[in-house]
Amino acid sequence: MKNIVIVGAAGRMGKILVRLVQAGIEPGLKLSGAVDLWDCADLGKDAGLVAGAGEAGVLITSDLAALLPAGDVVIDFSAHHGTSGNAPRVAAAGKGLVIGTTGLNADEKKAVEQAAQKIPVVLAPNMSLGMNLLFALVRKAAEALKGKGYDVEIIERHHRRKKDSPSGTAIGLGEAAADGYGWDLKKTAVDGRRGLVGERPVEQIGFHAVRGGDIVGDHTVLFAADGECLELSHRATSRDAFARGALRAAAWVAGRTPGLYSMRDVLGV
Ligand code: NAD
């Protein structure tokens, strides 16, 4: 049995993770700890009850360090600043780490990369199998269309509560397309367009973020040429797909050699 500590346990993803661990979706995983912020209204409550999954016998606490000795793998779906602060603690304790949190800035990513020198870390902006397949398909499409006049645009749609933009998944899709084209995404990405922006240059990848309602997450990568347009799309209909991937990653990462891994490594796509 691998003992799992969930960070962000009272959040949307945290509750689904608790529910699916309790349901035994990924064999061999056991909930051993649940963490959220000190001012979270659910602090001190049973994580299973908060998740609507029945009593788990694990209370939500804000003290990650106290839970680490008994844990094997930490799954972190919290917030960018929290995740980057947690990574060195998990590394010091020598545990496995699965990070689903998005919106990490360059310094925060560096903290995760440093932790990955000491422990195995899976970092993925999107943990679903379908989306990770889409990353591979987009890279393949870009390799095939490279230099043939196909403009790349990425459109993503999410619920109104999402804090970062464009989504980490959209950036991941942009990276896949840029890799396939042999471009540097940092030099080619533009966020939306407004005003007299002039004609579209060839070496550009446009990102468009739509926010509204309770949309779980839609992503489309458009390859538009003269005379045709290829669209590759993914629609998440429930957050369970991300949580299932995260639990698969947790089972996979325990006992690996230190390093920074992606869901491509976990899923073999
Ligand atoms: P949410 O706001 O519902 O939940 C986040 C929870 O983390 C909250 O309960 C919050 O109190 C807690 N938290 C914040 N900082 C913390 C800290 N320092 N320590 C402990 N707990 C802390 O958000 P959500 O929808 O559950 O998403 C969480 C993160 O996961 C976001 O970054 C989101 O973009 C990302 N996400 C990733 C995937 C994926 O597949 N990788 C899928 C969905 C969401």
Question: Considering the entire predicted model, what is its pTM?
Answer: 0.89
Give the start-end residues of each E strand in the chain.
Answer: 2-7, 29-35, 60-61, 73-76, 96-99, 120-123, 151-158, 189-191, 205-211, 217-225, 228-236, 259-261
For the Cβ of 12 lying below 6 angstroms from any atom of ligand 1, the answer is: yes
pLDDT in tens, 132-166: 999 999 999 999 999 999 999 999 999 999 999 99
Question: How far is it, in rounded angstroms, from Cα 9 to Cα 67?
Answer: 13
In short, whether 252's Cβ falls inside 6 Å of ligand 1 is no
pLDDT single digits (tens) 4-49: 999 999 999 999 999 999 999 999 999 999 999 999 999 999 999 9
- Of 158, 208, 219, 234, the catalytic one is 158
Ligand 1 mean position, distance from CA 153 (Å):
27
CA-nearest residue, atom 2 of ligand 1 = 11
pLDDT band of 125, cuts 50, 70, 90: confident
- Specify the pairing of strand 259-261 against strand 120-123: parallel
Greatest Cα-to-Cα distance within the chain, rounded to the nearest angstrom: 61
* CATH numbers and ranges of domains, the chain: 2-123+239-267 (3.40.50.720), 129-236 (3.30.360.10)
Distance between CA 94 and CA 63 in Å, rounded? 17
Contact 2, 254 (CB under 8 A): yes
